[in-house]
Amino acid sequence: MALTFQTDDWQSYKMDYGQPHRELEPLEKEIAVVDAALGALREAGVLPRTSYDQAKMLAHRKAVAELFEIPWTAITPRMQRLLYAINAIAQPQNVIAAGVFCGNTFISNAGAAVGPGASYTAKSLIGVEIKPNEAERAERNVRRIDPTGVARVVAADAIEVCRNFPVPIHLLYLDADGGPGVGKGIYLTILQAALDKLPPGAIVLAHNSVNGAGQLQRYFAFVRDKASFGESVNVILDGEGLEVTVR
Ligand SMILES: C[S@@+](CC[C@H](N)C(=O)[O-])C[C@H]1O[C@@H](n2cnc3c(N)ncnc32)[C@H](O)[C@@H]1O
């Protein structure tokens, strides 16, 4: 049986993809929902604790709103907070984010270690985007928040980057779209390319566990199989969803 965390209101909690910074609910409600999700992840043994720096999360959000060019995004405020919190709690040294488009998804992860929301020190945070012009914009966006270069975006195929990555990957974030006929099915190919670089305790995050579920059935079967992974929880707090898996 798949482990699931689900809010009562995930179907009515909706964003306008063209208005990424619009508040959808009172902040206290957003924090409570994400706290409950983090509690479920702790209970499942995916995370060691649930606490993270609330003020730094808001500093991260403010910097993204002020400095990023975002044509559209499907990252809701709840998802932005959840991604930030998972990274702030797990403190991954090396991160790969696959399919980052304009970089908003990537910085929701990396912002826990760079820029005004930084709450730990990481080694290498890499966003991978296959379309060169999108990668260029994402890199431009990320540079405005992180002048150090710890977080950076490369124009490449995430499958190749994972296959050739020379050091352990402590957190892998999946958001690539393989196009007609493949779509989110590409997650499994990217994960398999990264598999031997994921140490015990590594975290794998898969966006679109709800609205991409049709294309993710083989991915779900793989990450929910104890032969390769520890626990896996489908976190459903918006219409996109996030499958959170620990190695
Ligand atoms: C739909 S977007 C993700 C958007 C994100 N959910 C958001 O809300 O901002 C998926 C991105 O994955 C990229 N992509 C597709 N295949 C890829 C691959 N093999 N490696 C890296 N990026 C890839 C696409 O070019 C596209 O920009």
Q: Break the chain down into helix, strand, coil percent, rounded to 5.
A: 40, 15, 45
Residue 8, domain extent: 3-246
Q: Estimate the crossing angle of helix 54-67 against helix 77-90, to 10 degrees.
A: 120
Q: CATH no. for residue 198?
A: 3.40.50.150
State whether residue 224 is helix, strand or coil: coil
User: What is the pLDDT at residue 26?
Assistant: 97
pLDDT tens-digit series, residues 29-64 = 999 999 999 999 999 999 999 999 999 999 999 999
How far is the CA of 78 from the CAs of 15, 18, 27, 113, 203, in angstroms? 10, 16, 10, 19, 19
184 Cα: distance to centroid of ligand 1 (angstroms): 9
185 Cα: distance to centroid of ligand 1 (angstroms): 12
Contacts of 179 (CB under 8 A, 6+ apart): none
Reply yes or no on whether the pLDDT at 24 is more than 80. yes
Mutate to test the pocket of ligand 1, among 129, 137, 162, 207 (most ligand atoms within 8 A of CB): 129
User: What is the pLDDT at residue 101?
Assistant: 97
240 lines ligand 1 (CB under 6 A): no
- Residue 218 backbone dihedrals phi, psi, to 5 degrees: -70, -35
Nearest atom of ligand 1 to the alpha carbon of 17? 8
41 lines ligand 1 (CB under 6 A): no
Alpha-carbon gap, residue 202 to 94, rounded angstroms? 10
User: What is the pLDDT at residue 206?
Assistant: 98
**Residues 199-215: what's their mean pLDDT?**
98
Reply yes or no on whether the pLDDT at 74 is more than 90. yes
User: What is the pLDDT at residue 160?
Assistant: 98
Reply yes or no on whether the pLDDT at 90 is more than 70. yes
By CB atoms closer than 10 A (0-12, 13-18, 19+), residue 138 is: buried
pLDDT tens-digit series, residues 1-12 = 689 999 999 999
112 lines ligand 1 (CB under 6 A): no
- Report the number of distinct structural domains present in the chain: 1
State whether residue 233 is helix, strand or coil: strand
Contacts of 160 (CB under 8 A, 6+ apart): 193
* Per-residue pLDDT band at 167 (split at 50, 70, 90): very high
pTM above 0.95, yes or no: yes
User: What is the pLDDT at residue 1?
Assistant: 67
User: What is the pLDDT at residue 2?
Assistant: 83
| CA distance from start to end of the chain | 18
Cβ–Cβ < 8 Å for 83, 109 = yes
Longest dimension (CA), the chain: 45
